[in-house]
Amino acid sequence: MSAGVRLVMLAAALALAACGGEEHSDLKEELHQLTKDLRGRVEPLPQVKPYEPVPYTAEGQVDPFRTERIEVASAGRATGASVALIEEQKKRPPEPLEAFPLESIQMLGTITQNKETFALVKAGPNLYRVKKGNYLGQNFGVITAIDEAQISLKELVQDSTGDWVERISSLQLVEAKR
């Protein structure tokens, strides 16, 4: 190394040593004075309760998940009358509006011809003309009455026990948007 390079390196080392001096000593002293009385406090840990095992006392009871028990319960559900109702409905040919859920069918209006009242309903992109005795919806809903405001239906639905029961429903007239 040449003498000039050594001289530059020595000057840089002295400059770095000078930076580490007492330049910010007043700030360090003030910070030390402000924090000398501060002490952190940690809350004590909560007491751990000892584990107490609970004895299992259900081994003498009937297992609710046993497959034999489930099969017996489901076999006793449907009564002969409800099965006959469904079998009767399945024998007849389905009507086009039985492919749509009742909630997706809209009543748009009524028409009276030869003293018989028909309702205009929209299902999907098509319009249909229905009368008393036609079927609507996926729950074997038969039309029992038609007036200017609604279509009344009698549907067959399963209740919570699995029996088929009749339910009265209606399809309200959809008001035209202006």
| Tens-place pLDDT, residues 129-144 | 999 999 999 999 999 9
For the entire predicted model, the pTM comes to 0.53
Q: What are the extents of the domains in the chain?
A: 67-172
**Domain 67-172 part of CATH 1.20.120.420:** no
Beta strand spans in the chain (E): 106-113, 116-123, 126-130, 135-136, 141-146, 150-158, 164-172
Q: What is the mean pLDDT of residues 165-170?
A: 90
Q: Are strands 135-136 and 141-146 parallel, antiparallel or unpaired?
A: antiparallel
